[in-house]
Amino acid sequence: MDRKKFYITTPIYYPSGNWHIGHCYTTVICDALARFHKMLGEDVFFLTGTDEHGQKIEKEAQKRGVTPMQFIDPLVSELKDMWRLLNISYDRFIRTTDEQHVKSVQKIYQKLYESGDIYKAEYSGYYCTPCESMWTEAQLVGGKCPDCGREVTLQKEESYFFRLSKYAPRILKLYEDEPEFLQPKSRINEMVNNFLKPGLQDLCVSRTTVKWGVQLPFDPNHYAYVWIDALSNYITALGYMSGDDSLYRKFWPADLHMVGKEIVRFHAIIWPAILMALGEPLPKRVYGHGWLLIGGDKLSKSKQDQARGQLTDPYELVKRYGTDAVRYFLLREIPFGSDGDYTGEKLLNRINADLANDLGNLVSRTTAMICQYFGGNLPPRGKTEGVDGELIALAEGAFEKVKRAMDGLNAPDALAEIFNVVSRANKYIDETTPWLLAKDESKKARLGAVLYNLAETVRICAVLLKPFLTESPKRILESLGCDAEAGFDTLAFGGLKAGVPIEKLPPVFPRIDVKKELDEVDRIVKSKKKTIEQKNPKAEEVQVSEITIEDFAKVQLKVGEVVACERVENSDKLLHETVKIGEEVRSIVSGIAKYYTPEEMVGKRVVVVTNLKPVKLRGVLSEGMILCAEDKDGNLALVSPEKEMQSGGSVR
């Protein structure tokens, strides 16, 4: 018999770099769901990837004097590293620059053009570059982008339009006939009230000004609108309209598109309309999850630097607390479907309360007692008596409850069910007092039964935790002499064989001293901010010690020419220069905005420290430092070669 299939997708990420813990949220949830369905024995296809076309990338690359691909490639690697760090088990990582995707998008456009769903007309609208979204004047809020509040630009051009308006009645009917299609329910009201009721306009789906995109096959002056290009990934990744569409035939329609609430509009209106126009089946479910907030605001790239003293960098968080702890926090803390506040303190409290105390203690007490009282060999199950029944019933019944929660995509509830068993087992230890039983030789069999029940409960919890935590459950299972790959088919109580060697496990999650850790984090965040602001200490505070000529030779100084310059967003101190150093072009951020305008900077010959470790300042890559002289009042002046000097020349 064919296995049930489960096709799950994350949105494809903008390769923007500067990843924060909010970015990990969608993907970690999808990973837990994908792992859960794999453990159910289903044929799972888990898709993620990157959304690489559009004006934003084109501009960023231009600013740096590199090609879009040169700009994107390292960012995509960074993102993949992040997913590796978080043990994301995707089956395919699609890039919208993949040749096969591009070709399929062209075919999709061609088909819609031929069927008359795409037509040519003049477009005039307000474009928000960061969101890659178009708005009508009426949709703007205070003249700004209604999604992100940033400036928009009026654009007029001949464009191709998609007949979105035609599909409005069918989309309304879809919400009525299939209320499961868009969840949570509140999102349906948002879509109906904010978009469908006011009336859908046809959607402009081509550009002539942005060349970094998919060229339209029927008009090479036009390039695909990035959202159509991006949404299509869900089917092109399966080979739709390619030479081999077997995966498409097997996995489409998607069982779940998991997306953040700000992009529900694209997934629940535009995407079904495109699929209707293509005559393809619709995804079964779109879920618009809430956001990780910081101080009440969406944690976002632009807010990250001022993230109110919180550590939000996923690499740093995983380094400090481990993959499982970060995954656990994301999956457990935020009530599913709603927004949730992120603070370092909440994260640490979760780690301590649930992982170190509840789970960690249960595991270490159970394995330690088996080692102490039974020489490390699991005693036989023995008779069930007293409070045993309650614990066993809870452990045995947990899978059904976890499954019910996961059917509703609700990882926090699923984890709550598992930790309910963990807490019950800890209480069971207090009730059965094994250390007192151990004092009485006549109670040895009872002691054995109690420890067996505990080991079995720990085993069941570890198996149930496997979709959520990817490292510790395996360690726990191995310490109980079990196969780390054990699946849900091993969940019946009584699976452990008497006599198996049990290993005493050190704390799986060491307890963290919250106060000390928060102080340390505060120190790290402050020192990061200091680098970001490039705050120079006052001259008199600098301790100057002598250096040798060899020390000085370690600093590589070169002449550069500023070829482009602009202010760094949200900073009154920083300028972002593009500096040509010989053949090379570098992106450099300097704290000189009070002394030079971007216009003044362009064309200047400067001295650059070229072997400084690259850093990101306010999210912008800085690959060097431009030298300045500073007077006692802190005024800055650029250091330049006194005579005309070619860029690339070294300074000694």
Q: Footprint of ligand MSP on this chain (CB under 6 A)?
A: 11-14, 22-23, 25-26, 51, 230-231, 259-260, 262-263, 291-292, 298-300
Q: Measured between alpha carbons, how far is 42 from 264 in angstroms, rounded to an integer?
A: 27
- Residue closer to ligand MSP, measured from CB, 148 or 192: 148
262 burial type by CB count under 10 A (0-12 exposed, 13-18 middle, 19+ buried) = middle
- Residue closer to ligand MSP, measured from CB, 511 or 616: 616
Q: Which residues pair with 558 in a beta bridge?
A: 608, 650
- Residue closer to ligand MSP, measured from CB, 223 or 509: 223
- Residue closer to ligand MSP, measured from CB, 236 or 300: 300
Q: Which residue is nearest to ligand MSP (CB)?
A: 260
Alpha helices in 14-163 (DSSP H): 21-39, 55-64, 68-85, 99-114
CA distances from 157 to 119, 128, 209 (A): 14, 16, 9
Q: How far is the CB of 200 from ligand MSP (least distance, A)?
A: 19
Q: How far is the CB of 86 from ligand MSP (least distance, A)?
A: 13
Q: Measured between alpha carbons, how far is 403 from 414 in angstroms, rounded to an integer?
A: 7
Q: How far is the CB of 335 from ligand MSP (least distance, A)?
A: 13
Q: How far is the CB of 124 from ligand MSP (least distance, A)?
A: 25
Q: How far is the CB of 648 from ligand MSP (least distance, A)?
A: 37
Find the angle CA(516)-CA(521)-CA(527) to the nearest 5 degrees.
130
Q: Measured between alpha carbons, how far is 312 from 289 in angstroms, rounded to an integer?
A: 19
Q: Measured between alpha carbons, how far is 152 from 129 in angstroms, rounded to an integer?
A: 7
- Residue closer to ligand MSP, measured from CB, 362 or 415: 415
CA distances from 44 to 34, 39, 40, 92, 93 (A): 7, 10, 10, 11, 14
Secondary structure (3-state) at 97: coil
CA distances from 415 to 402, 405, 420 (A): 7, 9, 8
- Residue closer to ligand MSP, measured from CB, 31 or 51: 51
Q: How far is the CB of 442 from ligand MSP (least distance, A)?
A: 58
Q: How far is the CB of 23 from ligand MSP (least distance, A)?
A: 5
CA 214 remoteness from chain centre: 26
- Residue closer to ligand MSP, measured from CB, 293 or 651: 293
Find the angle CA(60)-CA(63)-CA(64) to the nearest 5 degrees.
90
Q: How far is the CB of 635 from ligand MSP (least distance, A)?
A: 40
Rg (CA), the chain: 29
- Residue closer to ligand MSP, measured from CB, 229 or 358: 229
Q: How far is the CB of 614 from ligand MSP (least distance, A)?
A: 22
Q: How far is the CB of 274 from ligand MSP (least distance, A)?
A: 11
- Residue closer to ligand MSP, measured from CB, 52 or 417: 52
199 burial type by CB count under 10 A (0-12 exposed, 13-18 middle, 19+ buried) = exposed
- Residue closer to ligand MSP, measured from CB, 84 or 497: 84
Count of other CB atoms within 10 angstroms of residue 280: 16
Q: How far is the CB of 298 from ligand MSP (least distance, A)?
A: 5
144 burial type by CB count under 10 A (0-12 exposed, 13-18 middle, 19+ buried) = middle
Q: How far is the CB of 413 from ligand MSP (least distance, A)?
A: 19
- Residue closer to ligand MSP, measured from CB, 262 or 503: 262
Report the number of secondary-structure helices (H) and strands (E) in the chain.
23, 26
Tell me the angle at which helices 444-465 and 388-407 cross, rounded to the nearest 10 degrees. Answer: 0
- Residue closer to ligand MSP, measured from CB, 14 or 36: 14
Q: Measured between alpha carbons, how far is 312 from 299 in angstroms, rounded to an integer?
A: 9
